[in-house]
A = this chain, B = another copy of it.
Amino acid sequence: MTLTNAPHSYLVAPDPAAAHLTRPVSGTDHTGKSVDLNVVEERPLTIFLNAQEIVTAMTIGDYPAYLALGFLRNQGMLHADEEILRVDYDDELETVVVRTASQTTYEDKLKKKTRTSGCAVGTVFGDMMEGLADVTLPPHPVKTSDLYRLAAIINTTPSLYLEAGAIHGTVLCQGGNPLVYMEDVGRHNAVDKIAGWMLSEGATAADKTLYTTGRLTSEMVIKCALMGIPTLVSRSGFTAWGVEIAQQVGLTLIGRMRGQRFVCLSGEHRLIRDANLRDVPEEPRKSQRKGANG
């Protein structure tokens, strides 16, 4: 079993050398010595759905169209069968506008809600929970050898994290192969960019695995379930409600995956424990994500 150095090509991989994603910053270290660091950018992006301003997200700025589509989809503002006419990104105005063929039902909802409560912010989470009632995830089997292979490939893939730190990554995978690797300052942006890519490409979800560096909170689990992906894996920890929702919707949930170790919180019966732990290396120190807390 070869876990690392396997020939592998992503459909979308991080581009840590892209000039607009990082910036040189100077500081002094603990000994008083000047240090020059390459630091991730962060810029506002305001997302519109037709004429409706929805949110301003703080993002590294790559893939604004995927981010907008995925955000709107994951918030239940765009339905799966919505006809999308165009997505217009304006670099200078820092806006992206998603245009649909017909007025979306969300805009009606929003109008009604803003009439009664003045603002729709507080209702978004309720809408996401509502969407969950219709979700039945397919009972897709998961090989532990695939999980270890994914972690080994992802952790050694050149990325903004390895280059500059302070960033989260989310990777859409199939079996033991990572396909689409997105990074962003917010862990939810990285997931939303994956959702936008899937929507744009018409990708199937039932055979996929989502790997994330972020914690498995309720919102992360709900997003994965709404995307129809039956397996969610993280290097980080989890909240009680995240675990509870995963169990309710039949999501296979794996947390704290580092080196040989992981904890399966939901979907144990779908795990095929085919990996020989003696073949699994402890992860190299360089890929330990101590700098991305947040």
Contact = CB atoms under 8 A, between A and B. Distances in A.
Interface stretch (A173-181, A193-201, A231-239): A231-239
A262 to B, nearest CB: 5
A79 interface: no
Contacts of A35: 263
B294 A263 contact: no
A111 interface: yes
A273 interface: yes
10 contacts: A29-B262, A31-B277, A41-B241, A58-B217, A110-B118, A110-B119, A166-B239, A237-B291, A288-B290, A294-B294
A45 to B, nearest CB: 10
Contact of A120 (B28, B29, B121, B271): B121
Contacts of A52: 117-119
A54 interface: yes
Contacts of A237: 39, 164-166, 291-292, 294
Nearest to A119: B120
A150 to B, nearest CB: 14
Given A28-B264, A293-B213, A294-B168, A240 B42 contact: yes
Contacts of A105: none
Interface stretch (A19-27, A134-142, A202-210): A19-27
Interface size bracket, A side: 35 or more
A290 B213 CA distance: 11
A38 to B, nearest CB: 9
A114 B240 CA distance: 35
Given A118-B52, A239-B42, A292 B215 contact: yes
Contacts of A243: 25, 27, 39
Contacts of A62: none
B289 A28 contact: no
Contacts of A288: 290
Nearest to A237: B166
B122 A239 contact: no
The 10 A-B residue pairs whose C-beta atoms are closest, nearest first, are A166-B237, A215-B294, A214-B294, A42-B239, A23-B240, A165-B237, A236-B293, A56-B122, A42-B241, A27-B263
